[in-house]
Amino acid sequence: MNLDDMSIDDLKTFKKSIAVVEKAADVLADLPASDGGEVRISLQPGERATLTTAWVMPAAGERDGLGGPILIEVEDEPRDVAAHGMVGGSGDLQRHCLAESPPAEPAASTPETGASPEAIPRAEAPTGEAATAADPVGEPPRPRATVSSVSQPEPWTEQDEAYLVELVAGRLGEGDTRKMALEQAAPLIGRTASACDFRLRSRLEDRLQKAVEHQRGERAKRAAGLAKVVAEAPEKPSMGAKIAEPPAPAPAPAPPPPADNPLTIAQRSILDAVRRLSGRKGFDAEIDLEIVEGFARGTKTAALALDLDLDAPLLLARFRDLTACIRDARGNMTIDGQADLMKALRHRVKEARGIAA
């Protein structure tokens, strides 16, 4: 600051500012200082003289219960010092309080040993709305908890778990990878592949391994039976051997009129169970047969529902109802039961067409 550059009016204002700053310093000398408190004085010609300190005003502390940086602003005209307490709030919230400075008292002497003054005891935190709005001074604003409503997926049922184990075990038994099996099974039960994989690993892994071993055992039995049939087949005659001509066949008798293959006891029981499901809106014998045959061919639920003009959840629920009578105690469909179910459904379609004719 160069005094030579000041005008007479600026020098008068500067003198007044110095006098008021001295008065403010006398007031602040009686206040306890916080650790690391510093005082900065800014004097600009023709502007306000500003004194900034980290001291705490007792009046503000008694009223608000909170301390903080104090900004002393001195007007051009000599008058009482105005203390503006800046109290930190949450985020963008700030409250400004204005108080008269207390009368000057003798300054408390500081020990010559250089010991720092005692820390100012923090007043009790406000309660109610004030406690919610204001955060502690000197600390960053705390994030406010927010509550959001997240749609939760439908809980797993025992039937869903059994169907998932059956589908994945069947694909693994056929030699597919776990990823391929999950990608094909997930759409059939209306869930994602990752959700199905998590369900299997968390609760159904042992059950899945047993089902896979069962599927592989059945597959090995079928392979062994096929190998036995091939081994028992007669060998082809050599090229050099003379092939005897077979005798002329006798005229075949006239074939009897076609008759329906009789159903077994198990198939009739399945047919009775399916008949009890009939009469529901949107389903008949032919649609039931197409649903079962479509899933047996490996058609995905979405594609099959589009072909039959049905909602996918409704179609899947109908498939579960139709196959409920051929599941074992663990909820798995038996191989013989699937064949019996399709034969019973075909018989029911013939009955329906005969009645329509």
Calpha distance 98→73 (Å, rounded)? 11
| pLDDT of 70 above 90 | no
Residue 130 confidence (pLDDT): 43
67 to each of 14, 23, 201, 311, how far by Cα in Å?
31, 22, 56, 66
pLDDT at 261: 61
The crossing angle, in degrees rounded to 10, of helices 301-308 and 178-189 is 40
pLDDT above 80 for 62: no
Arithmetic mean of pLDDT, 131-153? 49
- Residue 84 CA to residue 51 CA, distance in Å, equals 11
Residue 71 has pLDDT above 50, yes or no: no
Percent of the chain with pLDDT over 90: 4
Phi-psi region of 331 (alpha: psi -120 to 50; beta: other; left: phi over 0): left
Angle between the N-to-C axes of helices 301-308 and 312-323, in degrees from 0 to 180, rounded to the nearest 10? 100
What pLDDT digit, counting tens, does each position of 295-348 carry? 888 889 888 888 888 888 888 888 888 888 888 888 888 878 888 888 888 998
Any idea which of 4-13, 40-49, 54-63, 80-89 has the lowest mean pLDDT? 80-89
Give the per-residue pLDDT at 354: 78
Reading the block at residue 49, the tokens are 């003289």
Distance CA 52, CA 277 (A): 86
pLDDT in tens, 255-311: 554 455 678 888 888 888 888 886 666 678 888 888 888 888 888 988 888 888 888
pLDDT at 312: 87
Q: What residues contact 59, with CB distance under 8 A and at least 6 apart?
A: 83, 99, 100, 102
- Relative to beta strand 70-74, strand 49-53 is antiparallel
Could you tell me the pTM of the whole model? 0.30
Q: What is the pLDDT of residues 169-190, one digit of tens each?
A: 888 877 788 999 899 888 988 8
Please state which of the ranges 2-11, 141-150, 203-212 shows the lowest mean pLDDT.
141-150
- 107 close to 30: Cβ distance less than 8 angstroms: yes
Mean pLDDT rounded to a whole number for the chain: 68
Rg (CA), the chain: 46
pLDDT at 137 over 60: no
Residue with tokens 């075990």, as numbered in its chain: 169
Assign 99 a pLDDT band (cuts: 50, 70, 90).
very low
Query: For residues 3 and 294, what is the distance between their CA atoms, to the nearest angstrom?
Result: 99
